Amino acid sequence: EAGVVQSPRYKIIEKKQPVAFWCNPISGHNTLYWYLQNLGQGPELLIRYENEEAVDDSQLPKDRFSAERLKGVDSTLKIQPAELGDSAVYLCASSLGYGVDTQYFGPGTRLTVL
Amino acid sequence: SQKIEQNSEALNIQEGKTATLTCNYTNYSPAYLQWYRQDPGRGPVFLLLIRENEKEKRKERLKVTFDTTLKQSLFHITASQPADSATYLCALRGDSNYQLIWGAGTKLIIKP
């Protein structure tokens, strides 16, 4: 069974440029999560989807971050414009359905904003 | 405020010994607690889940305990091996908050 796929693995951009991350969850997983992880810290939830509905986006900085999950499968997270402080690892995870306990993570996208 | 604490200092253990990692929390009444392993450049990988009504859970060389009175979980790796070296994260979900809250992780180093 294929795991959670993320691309790109690494991205380096200048500040004020836009950037997008893509995630393909495990087949059949209804719930998709985007996390941000800084070095030496645990993941911090940005947004959670149940199928195509964003059910928890309270920690997503909506002035510059946006996300979508068309057809309840793949998802894209966008930052526009990027700031220096956005440098971090962006992790995507999926689970069978909310309330089912185990989350499966992709390898993450390491973003560096110069 | 709600808080999860894991030892921020790396834990160095001799191969073959038991490694014990600690996860403390405050202002939570978690329905369950999970432990994940994270290797450099990779996402966390689920290891074990323990529910509030369970005292102990085992999986091969891994054992997790959960003391809701002390508000603490202990994660044990017996007969540790260098391949067990990684960062171990605990994560909690409360009854009334569906969000999974993560600790910062403890780096475990097993020396041959």
Nearest-by-Cβ selection for A42 from B45, B46, B102:
B102
For residue B63 the two structure tokens come to 């054992």
Where is A54: in which H helix or E strand?
Answer: strand A53-56
Question: Are B89 and A42 in contact (CB < 8 Å)?
Answer: yes
B94 pLDDT band, cuts 50/70/90, is low
Which residues of B lie inside 8 Å of A (Cβ-Cβ)? Answer: 4, 8, 32, 34, 41-46, 49, 89, 91, 98-100, 102-105
Question: Are A93 and B43 in contact (CB < 8 Å)?
Answer: yes
For residue A94, is pLDDT > 90?
Answer: yes
Most confident residue range from A1-5, A35-39, A58-62, B97-101: A35-39
Mutate to test the interface with B, among A24, A39, A102 (most CBs of B within 10 A): A102
For residue A77, is pLDDT > 80?
Answer: yes
Question: Are B49 and A101 in contact (CB < 8 Å)?
Answer: yes
Q: Is A78 exposed, middle or buried (0-12, 13-18, 19+ CB in 10 A)?
A: middle
A99 pLDDT band, cuts 50/70/90, is low
Instruction: Encode pLDDT of B40-57 as tens digits.
Output: 999 999 999 999 899 999
Residue B40: cis peptide before it, omega within 30 degrees of 0: no
Question: Are B34 and A102 in contact (CB < 8 Å)?
Answer: yes
- What pLDDT does residue B96 have? 58
Nearest to residue A9, comparing CAs of A95, A98, A92, A100?
A: A92
Nearest-by-Cβ selection for A45 from B42, B89, B99:
B99
